[in-house]
Amino acid sequence: MRTCAAEKCGKSLEGRAAKTRYCDDTCRQRASRARVEKRGPHMVEPAWSFGAALREARTAAGLTTAELGAMVRKRRVACDHSVISRWETGARRSITVAQLEALASALGLSAADRKRWAKAAAEGGA
């Protein structure tokens, strides 16, 4: 018998889809919070953060995440406001070269800034 994967829950998942790991949204959210808490203090932000630089450049350009996402999508690159928000907060760290170039073009970054952003993204600082 399969049971909920959330710690201290143990409810049966009988009759639910095979992909289902949690009995409800509350258990799923609780498990997600527990994973984040386990990361602990060793997850220190780098001295220069790609996410902070992205937010700074976006706000300096007077754009919302939705507006920037629309500008990036016009360049035929998969990106929307939620992805941009997750980069800014550090919740998402992966970024493709195409996404990086589209962001840089949309924000009008200098060549030096583009190199710095690419380096940070390659080092996992995105």
Between CA 72 and CA 9 the distance in angstroms is 42
Q: Quote the pLDDT of residue 60.
A: 92
Between CA 68 and CA 125 the distance in angstroms is 20
Average pLDDT, stretch 92-116? 89
40, pLDDT greater than 70: no
Which two three-digit tokens encode residue 106?
A: 């949309």
109, pLDDT greater than 80: yes
pLDDT in tens, 41-87: 555 445 567 888 899 999 999 999 999 999 999 988 888 899 999 88
**Domains delineated in the chain:** 1-44 (no CATH), 50-122 (1.10.260.40)
Average pLDDT, stretch 8-21? 78
Average pLDDT, stretch 31-49? 62
**Entry pTM:** 0.59
Whether the CB-CB separation of 84 and 56 falls below 8 Å is answered with no
106, pLDDT greater than 90: yes
| DSSP-based three-state secondary structure for 3 | strand
